Every structure is written in C-alpha cells, then in structure tokens.
Structure 1
C-alpha cells in the first residue's frame, strides 16, 4: 500500500498546479453546489428578515398615526380654548353669589360645542381656576382640586405650558384605582398672573381597544422609559399599576420613538416566531443527510490531491521559519516537474544569494540607526539653544521694571529666584526632569512675575503626589505658564488667575494650564490648536515666537508622537491648554531628594 501511494505521489507531482485544480474542480463540483445552496438560503433568510422588519415598521407607523390623531385632537381643542376670550372672561369673572355663577355656567356651556366634540372622541374636559367665587362641580373646579395631582406637579416641575401624562391614580379620593391619560394645558394667553388650566382626560380603555382592534399578530408595546403604558397583549390591564419593561425580551423588537407634547414615547413591535427557521428545523434530518453525502464522498478524493501539495509545502514551510534567524536554511528536496518543485529550486537559489547579503545589509542597518540617533540628538540640541534667551530676557525685564518702580531691597529675592531658573537653562546634560523639579521652576517663575504684575496676578498649583516623580522634557510646563502670563494676564488690566493642575489619566498624565486673562478669538484658538498638534522642526526654522512650538516638538519626540493637545477658551474670559501624555518614565530619587523625603 505504501509503494502504491508513493507512485501516486510521484505521478501527481508531474502535473501542473493548473491541471490539479481542473481535476479538483471536476471531482469536487458538489462543493460549489453547497455554496450556491447556502447563498440561496442566506438570501431567502435575509429577504424574510427584511420583510418582517418592514412589517414591524408599518405597524409602528400605524400605531404612531393612531396615537397622534387621538391626542392631536386634544391639542387642537386646547389651542382653541387657549386663545378664546370667552373662556378667559368666564373663568376670570368675580361672581357675587353662587346663583350668579350657576347661571353663567349654564349659559356658557350651552353656547359651546366643546362638550360634544370631546365626547365623540372618548375624551372629557375640566377647567380649573384660582377664582374662589366659582362653585366646584361639573366641568369647572377650583385650582385646589388639581394642585395635588401628579400631572399638575410634573407640568410645573418641568416648567412647561402643556404636557401629556400617563398616571396611575391610587388616591383615596377615588373609589377605584385606575390608569389615566391626561392632557394638561396652562391657560395664560391673556392673563399670566392668575392660574387657569384645561385638563382633557382620555378614555384609557378606549385607547387599549383601538390598539387591540388593529388585529396585529405582533405584540405592540407603547412605553415611557421602561413603563409599559399601552399594549395589545397582556400589559393593558385597566386597574393595575403600570408594569416595567423587560429589556431582555426586547432585544429583537423593532423600536420607534415619538414625542407628544414633550413626552417621549417608544413604540416596540415584537417579532412573531420566524416561520422560515421553523420550516428549516422541521427538515433538518434530511438536510444533514444530504450534507453528509455531499461532503464525505468528495473529501476522499480531496485527500489524494492534498498529498501532492501538503507534503512538500509542509517541508517548505519548515525551512521558511529560518527567516527569523541570521542564516536561511536551504530545502534538500527538489524532485518533480510541477510549479512547487520549481518554487523549491528557486527558493534554494534565493537562500544562497540572501545568506551572502545578510551580513552586508545588517551592517548598513546599524549604521543607518546610528545616523538617525545622531540626527535626533542634533535636533534636541538645536531646540535647547532656542530656549535659553527666550526665558532669560522676560525675567530680566521683570527685575528691571521692579527696580525702577519700587526701589526696594526685594531685588535680592528676585535674583535668587532668577538663579533657580538660570540653573535649569545651563544644565542641559539631561533634557528630562521630574514633575517635582519642573513645578519648582514654575513656582520661581510665577513668583518673579508676581513682582511684576502685583495684585493683577494670582496663581494656584495642584499636583498629585503620585505624579511628582514622572519625567518630562525640561521647561515644558513653564513654557505654557509663561504664555499664559504674557498673552493672558499682561494684556488684562483687572486681576487674573493662573491655574496649573497635574494628575493621572489612566496609565499616563494630564497637565492643564488655565488662565483667566483676556482669552482669544475662536479663529485664534483653532490656529493655535493646529500649530500645537502639527508642530515639527520645520515650523521652528521659520523663526518668530517658537516657545510653545518648541515644547510641543519635544513632547512629541519623547512620546513617539502620542501626546495629545487641546486648547479651549473664550475671548475676554480666558484660555485653557490641556496636555495628555499616554505614558512617561518614572524617576526614582530626584523628587524625593529635593523634597527632603
């Protein structure tokens, strides 16, 4: 048996790959048949799903139209009453006695068709007023009858003039507990000083019957949040509290949101059982039998063809793993006349040439990396040289102004703080400093600026203790603080504040510099945001004010361009710069030695 298989392998190796695929196509013709059947199945299933979704959409649209029609009538009636002067005069008139009011009430109702219009639409209306000369009863009551109701409280709490409310009335004043649908509108068109309201109450049972009479097979739920208000199924009990929605059962339901007088309602249409899948399940044994016949028989032929491919391809795959090493391994087997054998022979020639080039290429790569590191160091040194005079001239100007204006001995204290700053400039042996060291430098800078601006400058610095040891590029934070002083506080005549906040943001840091200075226009904010996000060496070569761009370039270098900048503000109010750094190196002793811990 082994000898036969070996001869079969040799015979198959002499065929081209193109011929092998022709044989594969002929023998395995059933596989395309299965694929075709699968496409038909999926297409049919998709069509069935789209059909059901379209049906649910139509149901939701019909329910929405019915609700809008019923409740819209109430809104139209409310708008008519809202601008009707006869209603205003009837409700606002001060009556001398009960008889006068009763006569006015009967005369008023006899002259309006409102009662008939509401009755035809399964609605009842009631007017409420704070006029204490009326007699409670009929369609008009004093405001005391309304004030403690849920609909009144919610309308005033939400500061609306009209609203639709679904409430469950379990008050002791009612004989039976029941669900109620209420449209409540404030009547303040002519007189906003006195309270007058129109309440239209819908027949809850009539609404439920309207939905059930649509005779949909799908269950329809109308909800406010997770409260089930109306349903054509088991949730429409008139005398029980509103039930809560089970989100697990609504995962496949169609969802449609509508708004009626400020009340957000959601219409859920649950799908009926999938008849298509039910038919498939009933025929599952026959389908599995046909699938077995179509798969097992072609599989036996495929194994014969695969032996011709997989044996040598597996061996070739093993030698391909040597590409991870410094020396490629050639493949010993080159028998056969097909494309795989030709590929093996070409691979062996490639191995011979590649092994000779690896050493040369490897050396060139090392040399290229050394040049790249040298270039980055040169760029950093160039950035350092730009920073020194930028800060020094501002500080000397502060000392000069103070000496001219006050002539006090406090100059010595200013010079001491200047020494702290100057030491940061000249010690460029390491561009990274701890947050703690940078904040000490910021404090010295702001103290010097305090001498210059006096009461016009106030500042507050907040740093999480766990962030003090993290390393950042030197003179990063103070660059943004200086910008806040020069462009924020200096141009503002009234007192201003500068806030510096540093805290953790996930695995990284968030640095925020805020000033309450003169702020910037929106166009200027956008320009600054773009310059910071796109900062590079080329922008620095253009000269001008490069402090902020300098700091942004160095932050992008040390974070491999993962730092994020955001600039927010408003002209005349102030500016906030936020820097998010995803990850920084944490120092071990710098901050602790400086703080004396």
Structure 2
C-alpha cells in the first residue's frame, strides 16, 4: 500500500532537498499554524466572554450604587411623610403670620434643612401645600394654580400611595425628582406634596468612576437618557436611539429597583466591538510570540537536520560527478556515523582503490613510453657518435687558425662563434643554463647573422644585472631571436634592428624580443597562436613551438606569452616567467627541470 502511494505521488522523483521542505511544510508549518489558529479563536472567544462578564459586573455595581442613592432618598422621604408633628403643622390653620413663624422657626425650617444636608445627592427639598394660611418660605410653597399642567404633579396624583422618581423640564431647567403625596396622616382636604430634587453631578460622577470603555446610561421607561458618563447626553434631550450603535456592538441592560418608584428605569452599557477587541491585544501578542517561537525552534531543528543530510548528500553527488571526468578525489568532511557517513566512507574506499589501479596502469604505460624515448635517444646518440664532436671542433679550430695566419680576423671570429654554437648544441649534459649563458649564445648567433647580412642587421641588448644568475631552460630564447632575423629582417629592404631586453618586473622576469622587420598580418598572427596549442601540427615555426611548449610544460600558469605584430612595422615577442619558479646561483641551488 505504501509503495503504491509512493509510486502514485512520484515521491521517488522528488529531490531530497524538496522532500525535506515538504516534510517541514506538512509536518511542522501547517500543524503549528492550524493549532495556533484554533487556539487563537478559542482564546479570543474566552477573552470576549470574560470582558463581557467584567462589563456586566461593572454595570451591576453601578446599578447597586444608583439604587442606593435613590433608596436613601426614599427612606428620607418616608421619614418626612411619617412625621406626625410636621403633618400637624402643615394642616393647621394659622390666624396670623406671627403664629406661623413661631412654629416655622421652632420646627419646620430646621427639619427640612437637616434632611436636605443629610444626603449629598439631594439638591433641595420642597413641600407644596394647598393650605393658604401658610406663607411661602424656604422649603414650603403653595401649589400653583395650574399645578395640574405640571408634569411632576401628575405622578403624585396618579399613584398617591407610591414614591415616584421622575425627570422633567420646568422653567427651562432639567430636573430629576422624587415625588410623594404626604397622605400618611390625612385628616383634612389639605393637599401636601413632597418634591426632592437630586444633584445631577453626584450621579454623573458615579457613572464616570468606572474606568471602562463604552457608554453607560441611566434611562427611564421612555428610553430617555437621564444620566450618562458621556457629557454629550447629559441634558435630558437625548434618547437611547440617539446613540449610534454598530451591528457588532454589545448592549448590556440592568433593571433598576422598581420598588423605590423607579418604574421601568434601567441602566444601559454600550460596548463597541473595537473596545472588546482591544482586550485581545495582549493575548494576541502572546499567541503570536508563542507561535513565532514554536516556528523558530521547529525551523531551526528541521534546518539543522536537513543541513546534515543535504550538505553531505551534495558533497557525495559532486564527487560522483567528478568521477565521470576521471577525478577520484577523496571526500574530506565530518562523515558522521549514520547511513550517509557509511556511504561516504565506502565512496572514499572505492575512489582510492580505483585511483590506485589507474595509477598502476598509468605508471606501467609511462614506463613503456620512457623505454621507447630512451630507445630513440639512443638512436640519436648513435647518429651523433658517428660524427666525432672533437673532429668538428678540431677542424673548425684549424680553419680559424689559418684565417688568423692569413689575416682574416673577422672570418676567424665568426668561426670561433660557430664553434661555440656547435659545442653548445652537441652538449646535452645539462638542460638548464643561466640567463647570462643564454645571452652569450644569443650574442654568438647575432654576430654570425650580422656577418651574413652585413650592415643590414644591427642588434642591441638591455639586461638588468640582477636577473643574470636566474636559471632557465637552454635554447628557449634563441628561436624567437632567430625568427626575428630570418623572417623579420631578411625579407625587409631596409636596415634591420633586433632588440633583446630582459628585466625584472614585480614577480616576473620579462623577456622582450623586438624587430623592425616586415612584420605579419593579423591572420598570420592568429594562425601562429592557434598552432601553439596543436600538438600534432609541427609544420612551420618548429623552434618557436618547441620553445613555447617547453616553457608551458615547465612553468604552467607562471609562464605568459604574447606576440604583437604589424605589417611593415615589426614584431614584439614578450615572455614572462614567475620569479618564484626560477632558481639562481645566488640562493645556492640550480633547479633541474625535466
């Protein structure tokens, strides 16, 4: 079943790197994101519920406090209503003002003033009476002629046995009052109505004391806003419908105590959804940080594990590619002790074995070729031995001496140079010479060429003294000088000049051979450059090619070659050899190059 699933989804065709990424996404990233998403929504619901419970608790506290304020006022009104002495004073028929003021000063004034200052929420206490023998004074008023038109009066008449707390406008002012008909000791037709006005500030400050978001209101049975923690609505003109609420806003209600005359009064708290969402800031931040921490830890663990696998697999893959090009490099890394480590160790063992076998075969083949080279060299030596070098040297020396005897000094000198050149060519005991020795040989060659061409050829040598003792391969400069004379100067109708410069520049010894001969075209120059890299093509410029290949073989990247030429202007050849590859007599050793 598992094999079929692997084949169906093509899992074997997915790279290891992508497989690890797939594991990370499916087994780490998605589960963490999904879990945190569910946890966030659950936490959000719990926080919203908790926040609503806090708002409800706050609303209950405020409603209890409001009820207590009005309840105290009702108890005070009840004490006034049940005061028999006050009731007698209000129903008494006074014959004169003096009689009234005696009783007023003795009891009535102090009784009202004492009750007024007893509670902070009370602004004033007024008793309205139909007893015309009582003059209007502080706290006592006659019932107005049109009292039936007063809004507050209707509450006392409609239910004379209950306390009524009402809000109304009178004389351009907004009032909240407790109204009660003083009919507890009713013994006459005299009407007595108690009106206690409340201080708005006491209730508003109480609503503002709860430092929570949202609007809190006390509304009456007609949805008119009585008090609010928002001063905008504290003027008696607004209703609950005037407060703009969104579709997601929460409206909490709490009924006030009906038993103390508040009827359908209740408290309303309107909470904006943004206020509730603000409570989620800290939990959201915590959940986000927790999710981020989980992702970082999981990602770091997955990265470390995947890097351990991917890094070593890439190394093995890279070395396997090198095997295609016959490079059997050993993998050098911390192998580890898992299956990949075993694979690396087995690969190293295999590579070492294969390289050893190839080396054995190569050395055997090289030995065979060396034998063939030695055989050919022996044949050359046999040919050379057929012409005794001493015979050549002695013959040339005899010719030179006869030229001297005959007074032909120039001819004798040329024969001397030619003899030295032959001696150098036939002497292969050491393939390396100093730059000074190579320059002597070049000088002999140029003198002979000058003898041949006469005044048509001149030469100059500019050599730094500190490069003379460097060791270079024998006869690697001469082919370029010979090319300048034969192919550059000989074909020119003008007088020719060959300049040989050797100097040290930075970390290189620079050899420059210049001539003012016929030069060569760009096509010919490109052909020479191309032929330098062709091993099989040995026709034409054999000396230059052999010198180039010897220098390239010996010095590799530390040898640089450049040839510039223009028709009828001349040719410049530049050879550069790194000084760290050149040995000299000054450091006490001569490098033997093979």
Q: TM-score, normalised by structure 1?
A: 0.39
Larger Rg: 2
- Please, what TM-score do these two structures have when normalized by structure 2? 0.39
